[in-house]
A and B are shown apart, each in its own frame.
Chain A
Amino acid sequence: MGHMTIDGRHVEFSDEKNVLTVIRNAGIDIPTLCYVSELSTYGSCRLCIVEDDRGKTFASCSEKPRDGMVIYTNTPRLMRYRKLILELLLAAHERDCTTCVVSGSCHLLELAQRLCVDDVRFKNTREPQPIDRSSAAIIRNPNKCILCGDCVRMCSDIQGINAIDFAYRGTDALVTPAFNKTINETACVGCGQCRVVCPTGAITVRNDVMPVMEALADRNAIVVAQIAPAVRLALGDKFGLPKGTNVMGMIVNVMHRLGFDEVYDTTYGADLTVLEESKEFLERLSSGSGLPLFTSCCPAWVKHCETKYPELAQHISTCRSPMGMFSAVIQEYYKNPEKNEGKRLVNIAVMPCTAKKEEIRRPESKNKGVQNVDYVLTTEELASMIERSGIVFDKVDIESADVPFGIGSGSGMIFGVTGGVTEAVMRRLNQGHDRTAMADIKESGVRGMEGIKEFTYRYNGRDLSFAVVSGLANADKVMEEIKSGEASYDFVEVMACPRGCIMGGGQPAKSGPRTRTARYKSIYETDINTQIKKSDENPMVTMLYEGLLKGKTHELLHRNFEEAQREREAAEQ
């Protein structure tokens, strides 16, 4: 506790970790480029520079608050410094702003305008670097990198991967994988969190809008899309709607107008996942082997686990992800000539996720060597399609998703947030459907935005032990404990992105604590407003098991390990 004087105003502070936070809490938005509150402090951009009463300047992000400090944040001298810093950063930055994909959301550009940088007097002396398009998820353009290191710290602090880091020094410094390898040669899992924090266009999402547009224009194609739970809570951000607004009805309408033949709801696919994963969990529980069961919905987590903990990979559920199951079902459904009208099927998935772009290419995701999903579009890509079309989004009507795959349960909906998969499975395990049972589950410790949650839940006279994790560095902690025997669980849910898919790498970027709270609340509100709470009570799911899925659950709903084996052998030859 203490107080300081900021620009002549008296300001109280308590346990803020640095002066910058105190200043921001006092309602002054000091510019920064290398400061992300969740990551370790780096102090390289120097934009948060402030001045004390003795004229000493320092970076406020790297200074602890002290009682009695007197600070000025906006003196002419500081303005000059900040402007020069930005000018120098801009000089070494590929400034093709008019055609840059992130122009509208570029933090560097925004600050340059805010701080009135009207001229760049210096030449760019950096050697041009090749653009890395090797990843199915992200594209890396080092020429736009300003070396703030946000991506590096995200990748190491939060995700524990550290696929990229600084290399060389001085004017030669670069953010790159080791030995200038390409991203696909690293342990990158495609989570896209680096791109979320990148203040420029140095890391962007691979864009698949054009091929989808081509498919929509093709009269011989039937184009079907599924919408993931988290997409509907975030798309509205791009069109100025209040944060967290559920715009599913508008998405369905606008996608029909864009030419999609059918628009389905991935919550339906999530319901299939709940049934299959619960079944697998119960089997493993009764046989007592293969525990803990790891969830398999998050492709970034699956890849991370396989790469870093191959000895534990058999704990990963054999289930496909909700998108994977659903797309395989859609493929099967449209094999029927009555349904496909003699046209070819183009299967699209709209996801909050960049790693899904990699998932669809994995052999385990395929059937008979064919991809089930043709293209994954992120929430941002869907927004860009809408913008391009000229349809005024906030004026569109609402529509409900198409039959027969447009109905999902509340359990399917909450897949979009950390703890959702686990809660859905717990609901399924619980035979009853009374309000107390649902409330018990809700209060069990499964909810909340913490990175690691541990709790037990009584089932069939036995205390089942759960761990719910988001962020891969957190997953590493849990995995190390499992390996050493320090902890033992029956069920472990992991989502790579902190707080789950609502904050996925494909969601509209520049989303802070307010956005995440709004999305978090909204996803549970949607659950509350859904009459069907449990996946097994979704009548359309029951129908599917009695019809199309008969004798095909293994083929369509579980990962195709035979295919993976074949591809491995082919690669070895």
Chain B
Amino acid sequence: MLDQSYYDKTDAIIQLRGKEERFLIPIIQDIQEAYTYVPPELLDYVADKLNISEAKAYSVASFYENFSFEAKGKYVIRVCDGTACHVRKSMPILEALTENLGLSKRKHTTDDQLFTLETVSCLGACGLAPAVTVNGKVYPKMTPEKMLSLVEQLRKENE
């Protein structure tokens, strides 16, 4: 059970967006914005408020890679795998990160809740390819080596 403040916040979001089925996506976007992820309890809560089933809400939300139902780590690393980044070797960066952080296709967040690894289809920074963002800050022209040293630096900062 989440703290009551989560439900109050969600009520406010629904109030702002409108209590209609067609506003499901903006509502859960706002929730993700507020908490960095969509807590499953809140998706159920929103579905109930909009008078749709939880399965329907999940159907919509799970369609989009962007929505996450798990709490994210302190640092959200997004590796761009758009066409430009892909051809300029974004995959080795992703593979290096996956291995270094002990993650997998199904596991996106490290056990210590420090890092979350995601891929995005395009950051719109193709000129900087391959691009990576950490908590929104763009790191251009990345390599696996540069990436791993950045991760190391962030780890140290948190010791």
Residues of A within 8 A of B (CB): 156, 161-169, 176-179, 186-187
Contact = CB atoms under 8 A, between A and B. Distances in A.
Contacts of B63: 166-169
A179 B53 contact: no
A169 B64 CA distance: 8
Interface stretch (B21-29, B54-62, B75-83, B140-148): B54-62
Given A167-B58, A167-B62, A162 B52 contact: yes
7 contacts: A161-B53, A162-B52, A162-B53, A165-B56, A177-B54, A178-B58, A178-B59
B68 to A, nearest CB: 13
A178 B43 contact: yes
Contacts of B102: none
Contact of B55 (A168, A169, A178): A178
B37 interface: no
Contacts of A167: 55, 58-59, 62-63
B30 interface: no
B45 interface: no
Nearest to A164: B55
A510 B62 CA distance: 33
A363 B69 CA distance: 35
Nearest to A169: B63
Contacts of B11: none
Nearest to B53: A162
Contact of A165 (B40, B44, B53): B53
B32 to A, nearest CB: 16
Contacts of A178: 40, 43-44, 53-55, 57-59
A165 B59 contact: yes
Interface string B31-58: 0000000001001100000001111111
Contact of A156 (B43, B44, B56): B56
Given A178-B43, A179-B69, A168 B53 contact: no
Contact of B62 (A156, A161, A168, A187): A168
A186 B55 contact: yes
Nearest to B57: A178
A156 B54 CA distance: 12
A128 B61 CA distance: 22
Q: Which of A169, A177, A178 has the most CB of B within 10 A?
A: A178
Contact of B59 (A161, A166, A186, A187): A166
Contact of A162 (B43, B55, B62, B69): B55
Contacts of A163: 53, 55
Nearest to A168: B62
A162 B58 contact: no
A186 B69 CA distance: 18
Contacts of B52: 162
Nearest to B106: A127
Nearest to B60: A165
Nearest to A180: B58
A167 B69 CA distance: 13
A165 B24 CA distance: 16
Nearest to A166: B59
B53 A187 contact: yes
Contacts of A164: 55
